[in-house]
Amino acid sequence: MGLRKLGDELYLYPGSPGTVIKVTPAGAVLIDPGHGKGRHKDLRREVRKLGMEIRAQLATHSHADHIAVAPRIEAPLFAHRFEFSIAESPLNRELLTFGSKAPKGFLVFQFPEEVRVHAVFEWGDELFGFKTLKLNGHSPGMTGFLDEENGVIYAGDSFFGERLIGSVGVPYLVDPESFKASIEELQNYAEKGYLLIPSHGKPVDGDEAKNLLHFNLKRVEEAENLILGILQKPASIDEIAFRLMEHYDVEVTPQKLALNLVPVRGFIAELYNRGEIEALVDGGLKWRIRKD
């Protein structure tokens, strides 16, 4: 694997997630160093080929697959204020993903060692030649990084490639309305010709970007409508997630089911807040279309 040049002093190192590298006068800046044995060595090697050392690391968000190797790179890590506690506490990440402390080894990506955030930022800040964009919904502080000079946005997990969505069923999100708003924000940039880079998927622009964003948005809207259909009869969150996975012909494993439970809970909260569904106890906590 090698670097893909994205623009003037801007590169992408492949992976899932991919890592953006920006060369600045003071050194190289990484976005989402990622995870995996040896990845920190690979990134240092590629940066040294550019004649640089790593100055700083930026996180789109604090899920382990995006920042697990950050401590091994030995450069300050910057994260959004809402992501700080998720980055520094593996338990907080497990709470966000699993709803409680997770069984050891159950989640695919877990921090191998302690992560420290050295500085926090807000949406709209300027950092190392990037502007930080509000693209939340996937996680509380999900941030995109806009390189205006090169016309590039590293969009993190604010949208996904079709292959990844096909493997899990529903895009992973904690707030459906924020996720949809982020997609709509990115659609504005796609219309202007920006290159959009999802963490899990290939960079896209033009019609390809517009089509992929549309696919993400429609999958979320479709999932919401499917849930409303399922809730014509009372169903638990587990039952809803299972039936969504069946609908999308996704292999049902304990881990994938656990991941789908997170967006389903987000949909349930949104539908309940809009007054469209109600809760009841029927051999367990279940939900159904509201009956006035």
| pLDDT value of residue 108 | 61
| pLDDT value of residue 23 | 97
List beta partners, residue 144: 133
| pLDDT value of residue 102 | 79
**235 and 288 in contact (C-beta within 8 Å)?**
yes
| pLDDT value of residue 245 | 97
- Cα 122 from chain centre: 17
User: How far is Cα 48 from Cα 257, in angstroms, rounded to an integer?
Assistant: 41
**146 and 139 in contact (C-beta within 8 Å)?**
no
Q: Could you tell me the domains of the chain?
A: 4-230 (3.60.15.10)
**164 and 201 in contact (C-beta within 8 Å)?**
yes
| pLDDT value of residue 151 | 98
Cis bond before residue 17 (omega within 30° of 0): yes
Question: Both tokens of residue 272?
Answer: 């309940």
What is the block-wise mean pLDDT of the chain (292 residues), using blocks of 10 residues? Answer: 91 95 96 94 96 97 92 96 89 79 73 84 97 97 97 98 94 97 98 96 96 98 98 97 97 91 96 97 96 80
| pLDDT value of residue 2 | 85
